[in-house]
A and B are shown apart, each in its own frame.
Chain A
């Protein structure tokens, strides 16, 4: 504790000195050193974010809080990027005395970092809102999504009624899935639906594993627990590695769904490989899986992708 305190005090005083020294020797400010020196993706964007958050320059602080406000007002969408980012970038350039004529490539990469950082923050709000929306059987849209999930996952069998034991086939707990979404709200359903829609092969492959007589598990319930995991990884910032390293995609809701699909596919793999005795081993294997994912995310250079291989078990 004391060591930590001394370190943070030292850092408070040392950081400006080190920065001044580097500035004099490299003739670049910290943001430039990050944008030129770090690899594009998570290493660069996370570096820029850290630098901006630690900044004690008044106008940089103002830019940060301005961008946060834009996110709060739900206006941080690609259509507005120019209008929002152009002035913010020039403020930082002026404050850091960066010559735009000499450092054109800095502007490009700095802009990309800002887009990534604040899209991520915007995504956090969006996901939170979806999670807070409870599943409501009175809402035709929710009902339609639920029924669509069934028809995507079990195309050969029709649902006899809305409330039926059949739901247990895809791993809900009882006759009516509505009570299973709980704390994850409609986000749990949206995640499952995306998995079934965008990755029909992978999801039916995973579903078939969940029906295995020996290593079976409850598909939907495990899915909702993975929603919870994806949600927490997003919230505590661990998912930045995934989101910032996704080429050609800014953090948005679809990317969050993709992240979820990745987790589901990988969890299934680990579960089957662990050869669990029964479902009671779930909490242990789930924890092990989460730790493995956290370790991977801790390395900013990790790039994730689903490697679909259909095996027979």
Chain B
């Protein structure tokens, strides 16, 4: 199970099923991240039409990760998947300077949604292996993360294709699972 063995720590939690929602623009690396989480081969990824879902079992814990396509045509459907989300994971391609603004706008819209209120946010600053990638701190600034007051958030630099930083992000996820009523 590799990465997900860290979820053993979650045994104490009464809820055994978690819903993670992966969002971000197209070509951000959501599906690659999903495959990385499931310890699958990441070299044959294709663009997502619709969505992918993977459930990963780890120490009696069921992690349902929803990866929704990022292209503009699909974004209106994102809302249909908001309900009961435990953690929102937002993926940013840090080498795509031209669309930083677009990705900020999309994120800002997500954070305003009622259904996602108080849901902890993890931002993966992806593609750090590329020479043109902005560092995570700069991406955080562009996204205006420091202005967020209504939820816990974290930004994690990562390289989804080789797994660098992915585990650290998931560790943060584990520590910040909201206590369910």
- Which A residues are within 8 Å of any B CB, using their own CB? 168, 173-174, 179-180, 182-184, 188, 217-218, 221-222, 224-225, 227-228, 231, 278-283, 286
Contacts and interface: CB of A to CB of B under 8 A. Distances in A.
A278 B46 CA distance: 20
13 contacts: A168-B72, A173-B70, A173-B72, A174-B26, A180-B47, A218-B73, A227-B46, A278-B77, A279-B69, A279-B74, A280-B74, A281-B50, A283-B50
Contacts of A228: 44, 46
Contact of A282 (B26, B49, B70): B49
B49 A218 contact: yes
B12 interface: no
B45 A183 contact: yes
A279 B50 contact: yes
Contacts of B47: 173, 180, 182, 221, 224-225
Contact of A222 (B27, B49, B52, B73): B49
A273 B71 CA distance: 25
B44 A183 contact: yes
Indicate the member of A183, A224, A286 with the most B CB atoms within 10 Å. Answer: A183
Contacts of A218: 49, 71, 73
Given A173-B27, A174-B26, A280-B51, A182 B73 contact: no
A280 B77 contact: yes
B80 interface: yes
Nearest to B45: A183
A283 B50 CA distance: 6
B94 to A, nearest CB: 14
Interface in B31-61: 43-47, 49-53
Contacts of B74: 279-280
Given A280-B51, A281-B50, A282-B50, A182 B45 contact: yes
B71 to A, nearest CB: 4
Contacts of B51: 280, 283
Interface string B61-78: 000000001111110010
Nearest to A276: B50
Interface of B: 26-27, 43-47, 49-53, 69-74, 77, 80
Contacts of A282: 49-50
A265 B142 CA distance: 44
A299 B74 CA distance: 37
Contacts of A224: 46-47
A98 B52 CA distance: 55
B52 A283 contact: yes
B33 to A, nearest CB: 14
Contacts of A225: 46-47, 49
B83 to A, nearest CB: 14
Indicate the member of A168, A179, A221 with the most B CB atoms within 10 Å. Answer: A221
A217 B73 CA distance: 10
A281 B80 CA distance: 13
Q: What 6 A-B pairs are tightest by C-beta distance, nearest first?
A: A282-B50, A173-B71, A183-B44, A173-B26, A183-B45, A282-B49
A228 B52 CA distance: 15
Contact of A280 (B26, B27, B72, B80): B80
A217 B48 CA distance: 12
Nearest to B80: A280
A173 to B, nearest CB: 4
Indicate the member of B46, B69, B80 with the most A CB atoms within 10 Å. Answer: B46
Contacts of A184: 44, 46
Indicate the member of B47, B52, B70, B74 with the most A CB atoms within 10 Å. Answer: B47
Nearest to B99: A174
A131 B72 CA distance: 27
A79 B19 CA distance: 58
A268 to B, nearest CB: 13
B41 to A, nearest CB: 9
A45 B131 CA distance: 50
Contacts of B43: 183
Nearest to A220: B47
Nearest to A182: B45
Given A279-B74, A282-B50, 7 more contacts: A173-B27, A184-B44, A228-B46, A231-B44, A279-B77, A286-B49, A286-B50
Nearest to A283: B50
